[in-house]
Amino acid sequence: MSEEGFELISDEELKEEVCRVMKALYQRSLISALGGNVSARAPDAKEFWITPSGVFKGAVETDDLVKLDLEGNLIEGFLRPSIEWPLHAAIYKNRPDVNAVVHAHNPFTLGLALSGIGLKPISVEAVMVLRKVEIVPFAFPGTDKLAELVGKAASTGARALILQNHGIVAMGANLLEAEAVAETLEEVAIAQYVSMSLGKEPPTIPEKDIELYMKLYKM
């Protein structure tokens, strides 16, 4: 472990984790065959690995990944990078604490956002894992405008963003954290949806307990 508490991670390990997360998102129906993208970097690195464009996302392999610098220049790899690379780069530029970014199309999270319903602190995971979720207004996928809006929303310290009419962005200090944020968004959205569809207003964890969790877990 380094001083910051991060394990030193090799390019090969990073690439394997990116592929594992991509497949897991596909298996959990959080992305479609060509949707979604995942990236990761070593702590403090000015370059990152990202999934390619136009490849079946359920079977991405390490050789398919592309390494870019924060301006989008190709450093390594053969395929075209995801068209959403500017969004990933914007997050890394604005958030030195973030080393992994997951972009998925979580159907329940998006469905609630389309209905103007925000995620509530309905579970410990909702409080601990999500902490802060920002809504990003619609901009066309792959554009500099979307990257600019995402960079701005990410700079508030959010761990998750909901891209209106599009999907979600989950951020973490490593891939496991970003993956957990993407999955927790959907888990919370589904639980909240079930409760609301049965005509209930789901009870939430009281504010004072949230403060206690924060203290207990030094957040």
Active site residues: 84
CB of 141 to Zn ion, least distance (A): 5
- Asked if 213 and 138 touch (Cβ cutoff 8 Å), the reply is no
CB of 56 to Zn ion, least distance (A): 16
CB of 146 to Zn ion, least distance (A): 9
Please identify, using beta-carbon distances, which residue of 17 and 84 lies nearer to Zn ion: 84
Please identify, using beta-carbon distances, which residue of 52 and 167 lies nearer to Zn ion: 167
Interior angle at CA 7, CA 12 and CA 154, nearest 5: 90
Helix, strand, coil shares, percent, the chain, to 5: 40, 15, 40
Written as six digits, the tokens of 206 are: 């009281």
CB of 115 to Zn ion, least distance (A): 19
Please identify, using beta-carbon distances, which residue of 86 and 167 lies nearer to Zn ion: 167
* DSSP, residue by residue, 182-213: HHHHHHHHHHHHHHHHTT-------HHHHHHH
How many helices (H) and strands (E) in the chain? 7, 8
Footprint on this chain of Zn ion (rule: CB under 5 A): 167
- Asked if 40 and 14 touch (Cβ cutoff 8 Å), the reply is yes
Please identify, using beta-carbon distances, which residue of 89 and 127 lies nearer to Zn ion: 89
- The residue sitting closest to Zn ion, measured at its beta carbon, is 167
